[in-house]
Amino acid sequence: MNIYNRQAGQRGFSMIEVLVSVLIVSIGILGTLSLLINGLRMSSSSNYRSIAAAQATAMAEVLRGNPRAIISPAGSGLSSFDVPVPGSNPDCNGVGGCARTDFVNNNVWDWQQQLANSLPSGTGIICRDGSAAASTTLACTNTGQYVVKVCWNEQRIQASSSALNVNGALCTWTAI
């Protein structure tokens, strides 16, 4: 038996065929990896939107349950909840309730702390805004209905770059 005849009968893959196959498989794996990364970004964005909507709705419900907290004191000129500070009345959320100032100082401050802890650069405001639907910031017109606005930084994710404002933030709101 001739050694050359045995090799001529055996067939295999050439190095170029193997390299082309590896290239095609690599492109497929990279495409799948890109799909997974974008899916994680969208999932994270969806999670932040859900948290923001839940936080805005929760504060709106607190205010609906205590409508006197929204009413500005006569002659005060207040038409929005200004930047609150921690209140001195620890029983504000108790059965006895509290004055408007104590409500703002306790509940709204706590709510803003929750936003800061649960959303990246999360912040919120309660104000009067007649054009909240067109607004992409925390700015308010001090006219129209009371709204609860929540904004957070979603620039890192870039999942919804068309909806981000100039600061890379995304905002949601709910009417009271």
Residues of the chain with pLDDT under 70: 1-10, 68-94, 97-101, 103-105, 156-168
The CB density around residue 81, as the number of other CB atoms within 10 Å, is 23
The verdict on residue 168 lying in a domain is: yes
The verdict on residue 57 lying in a domain is: yes
Domain region containing 137:
49-175
- Residue 54's pLDDT is 93
The verdict on residue 73 lying in a domain is: yes
Say how many domains are in the chain. 1
The verdict on residue 109 lying in a domain is: yes
Which residues are bridge partners to 146 per DSSP?
128
The verdict on residue 18 lying in a domain is: no
The verdict on residue 77 lying in a domain is: yes
For the stretch 36-64, pLDDT in tens is 888 887 778 888 889 999 999 998 888 88
Residues 56, 148: contact at Cβ < 8 Å? yes
The CB density around residue 49, as the number of other CB atoms within 10 Å, is 19
The verdict on residue 99 lying in a domain is: yes
Exposed/middle/buried for residue 12 (C-beta within 10 Å: 0-12, 13-18, 19+): exposed
The verdict on residue 101 lying in a domain is: yes
Q: Is 0.85 topped by the overall pTM?
A: no
